[in-house]
């Protein structure tokens, strides 16, 4: 009603009917919002190199997602990706955020008994993680950006 959408076709017979029609229903709201007066701000941000994560596990897109903005707070452009040295092996999820091996692993259904060597390596990993967290905590103060903190965490992680 707030967007002055037509009433015909706006009713759903059941909750399942609403769920099945959600995508098309949402697009009607989005089109109405974007064409409404005073929404030119959103369209101007699209061309400025901003990138958004619309859905978890998907690539980032320059398309500004629809939000009902309140106040002056807006998302900040995502920084460029920090590079990991070639000598560090990347996990299978490093490029797109989606694990490939782990969900199908037998370890999803059994408890693995760790060897003394594995336990020692876990302790070492935890010690390094604590040092990285401490380095990040030392950076936190008013005026320090999350990009600066991210850079310190990245450097501390790859040098460990």
Among 65, 68, 41, smallest CA distance to 53 is for 65
**What is the average pLDDT score of the chain?**
77
Residues linked to residue 52 through DSSP beta bridges, in sequence order: 61
Task: For 61, list phi and psi in degrees, rounded to 5.
Answer: -130, 150
pLDDT at 111 over 60: yes
What average pLDDT does range 21-49 have in this prediction?
54
What average pLDDT does range 3-15 have in this prediction?
58
- Identify the pLDDT of residue 103: 85
Global pTM reads: 0.52
pLDDT at 104 over 60: yes
pLDDT at 127 over 80: yes
CA distance 92 to 24: 35
Burial of residue 64, with CB atoms counted within 10 A of its CB: 0-12 exposed, 13-18 middle, 19 or more buried: buried
Q: Are 69 and 62 in contact (CB under 8 A)?
A: no
Calculate the alpha carbon distances from 71 to 2, 31, 74, 79 in Å. Answer: 19, 22, 9, 24
Q: pLDDT tens-digit profile of 44-57?
A: 443 345 566 666 66
HSE-CB for 10 with a 13 A CA cutoff: 9
% of the chain surpassing 90 pLDDT = 31
Q: Taking the domains of the chain in order of start, what are their residue ranges?
A: 47-80, 83-159
Residue that wins the pLDDT comparison between 37 and 32: 32
């Amino acid at each position: 009603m707030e967007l002055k959408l037509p009433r015909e076709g706006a009713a759903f017979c059941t909750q399942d009917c609403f769920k099945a029609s959600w995508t098309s229903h949402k697009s009607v709201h989005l089109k109405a919002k974007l064409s409404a007066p005073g929404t030119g701000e959103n369209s101007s941000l699209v061309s400025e190199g901003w990138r958004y994560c619309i859905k978890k596990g998907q690539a980032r897109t320059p398309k500004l997602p629809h939000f009902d903005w309140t106040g002056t707070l807006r998302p900040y452009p995502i920084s460029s990706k920090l590079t990991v040295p070639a000598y560090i092996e990347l996990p299978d999820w490093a490029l797109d955020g989606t694990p490939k091996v782990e969900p199908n692993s037998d370890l999803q259904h059994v408890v693995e008994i760790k060897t003394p060597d594995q336990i020692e390596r876990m302790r070492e990993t935890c010690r390094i993680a604590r040092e990285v967290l401490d380095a990040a905590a030392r950076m936190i103060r008013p005026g320090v950006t999350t990009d600066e903190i991210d850079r310190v965490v990245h450097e501390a992680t790859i040098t460990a």
